[in-house]
Structure 1
């Protein structure tokens, strides 16, 4: 049984086929790589500054994934 390990985002107007696969998949990989670094740092910062720690831990999902996903229109 084959599984599709890519992210698919359909209904976009950024390309002729109106379906994105590469951008969201690379966005997910980039967000996961950023999370490996930022979540432990955010956890340590959270001990002293709660809101700043939460912002650091949320950065991969709020900033990294959308920016990479939008940058690649395929």
Structure 2
């Protein structure tokens, strides 16, 4: 089973739906989260603010940049 994310109602392309960008963004999010969440949890023990930023990085930076780069 392959995960597919669909975003409809956008004006970025003629068919007004996006599938490729959000799906690749989700896969990039999973890869980044698998690496950054354990690291962020260890850092959180010593510096809470820095650990929270590391654990939030996949959702605030990785997913939006990958999903926004592909208009279809």
Same fold (TM over 0.5): yes
In the TM superposition, residue 5 of structure 1 has moved relative to its aligned partner by 2.7
Partner of 1:64 in structure 2? 62
Partner of 1:35 in structure 2? 33
Number of residue pairs matched by the alignment:
72
Unaligned 5+ segments in structure 2 are none
Unaligned 5+ segments in structure 1 are none
1:25-61 Cα distance to aligned partner (Å, 9 max, x none): 0000000000011001100100000011001001001
Structure 1 runs of 4+ off > 4 angstroms? none
Say what the alpha-carbon RMSD is for the aligned residues.
1.2
Inter-partner Cα distance in structure 2 for 1:20 and 1:13: 10
- Residues 11-30 of structure 1: pairs in structure 2 closer than 5 A: 11-30=9-28
